[in-house]
Structure 1
Amino acid sequence: MIQHIKNLLILILLICFSCKEKNVSKIIVKENATSIIAIKSEQKTKFFSFYKAFSFCENNVGYFTEQEARDLYVDKTITLDIEDEKKVSPSLSYTKEKLDCIYKNLDLSGIITTKYFKNEDVFPFDNIALVDNKYVVVARDGYFFVFIIQGENKKNPVLKDVTSYQGFESLLNHKLTGLSIIDEKAYDPYKKYGLDFSIVCMCDSPSLYINTTSKELIIFNYCDSNKSISNVENKSIFKIEKIENKGNKLIIIATPNLKITCEGEGEVPVFKMLVEGDFPKEYVGSDLKKVFTSVPEKFQKEDCGDFGG
């Protein structure tokens, strides 16, 4: 009898100890002996890697291009104890409109849970949301940045077509500005090309945006470059049917009836473009340049003086 009581006390102590360790215990009863084998519980710490970025649905300010937003946290990894939900200020919780925007862009429907966590990490990771127990979402400067549980990121749009577009990364998913030859004899591209009077002062030159995510070629006026693409009113959108990398040339075929052949100039983000087909001119500008760049701020820019434009 005393032996049985002793065994029972040991059993109780072992169970209590195993609970402290947050493990599930399997009790095995054999003849005249009872033993406990600790079984590791389901891991509550999850690791999240970058998945995608998109702007607030009501956003009116273009802080980033789509590619810049993706590049910002592409190497970031988040570690989260998904059971350690902590209360955050109501002002830090997403409004219904923002949650609807997140659900729409993540293609979520039905019953969706959203939990909020307060972290010791730096902004914007000090307050994060766990959506559908799968996505971690943070927000800054008019954009949502989404991270997904590692192992489920098989269709990461960041990795899409990287090999096919190699050498042309700065041409895609960036606002592209036309350049004119400023100094024919200059060897340095930053001195050879620049933004002339027609572009800056007359607003008569089209800019481009090649969106590999939505498969759209968007043409708009240079003077709308300070806006986010979604908020540019006067623009022409062509559906991209095919993008081919042939040697040192990237060929973009879009409908209806437009083909653009791009060729790089060394390591500088400057690309010669040959346009074939029906390129629009109305509202976007008629002075179509033959050279484009994604970093116009690095080139000379015409001073319009008192010209009203």
Structure 2
Amino acid sequence: MHARAVTASAAALLGTAALLLPLSPARAAESSARPLVIAHRGASAYAPENTLAAVDKAAELGVDWVENDVQRTRDGELVVLHDDSLRRTTDVEEVFPGRAPWKVKDFTAAEIARLDAGSWFGSAYAGARVPTLEQFLHRVERHHQKLLLEIKNPQLYPGMERQILKVLGNEGWLDRPHVRNRLIVQSFSADSVRTVHDLRPAVRTGFLGTPPVSDLPAYADFTDQINPSHGSLSAGYVSAVHALKGAHGKPLEVCTWTVNDAAAARRVAGFGVDGIITDTPDVVRDAVRG
């Protein structure tokens, strides 16, 4: 067993550390209210996901944190899209009918830029485009927001971590204010998260999933957050995560997803989570702060 496991108290492993340990203080400088509310793919209940319009809607609602997803095109451009296929959220079937299964990696950035990424959601958003990562960063910066960036499908895009970090650096997102307070990079791939940490140790990272408590010390070596689905969460698990210090020497945090109703928001807030990722940030914010 990893040596760090020895430092986790038996009480934490039994789920009773909530009685002994305070919640992580890492958010105190940002807001007096906990947990943080993070707009999933932008305010995606109200505007088409991962578009600039969804970022704008989150800003309109007064939401500081925005989450997004990054894929890579055939010619190496990073674009903001959740699925590895363009089919669900664009009109790619109409524009390129003979190119099923319409995978992002099979289209150039110029081809993807032709697609309508808004009409599927509503006529008011007709003509919205799939943004590049640079375009997305510019819009988040314009609103003085903060970014939880998810590396999607890194197994499909070798070297994606280094490329994302290069874009972040070129756009000014790897300076001290950003990496300390405005940027977190996460993935379902532990290898991808570890790679980001190794390449840029200053960048805060998150692992998407619910590792067994016994495995948490190993994750704590290279990540700052453990971010599970809310359906897999318990107060004991949150306490076990908080009992460990992450890669930057502060208590590991928990951001849970995807919570879209008030009852679920109050439930996970009661567990002591540090952040809630949601399509309906206004609903969640009112529930946890009201």
Q: If the TM-score is normalised by the length of the shorter chain, which range does it land in?
A: under 0.3
**TM-score normalised by structure 1 residue count:** 0.24
Q: Higher strand fraction: Structure 1 or Structure 2? A: 1
Q: If each structure's helix is expressed as a fraction of its own residues, which one has the higher value?
A: 2
> Which structure carries more relative contact order (alpha carbon 8 Å, separation 6+)?
2
Q: Which TM-score applies when normalising by structure 2?
A: 0.25
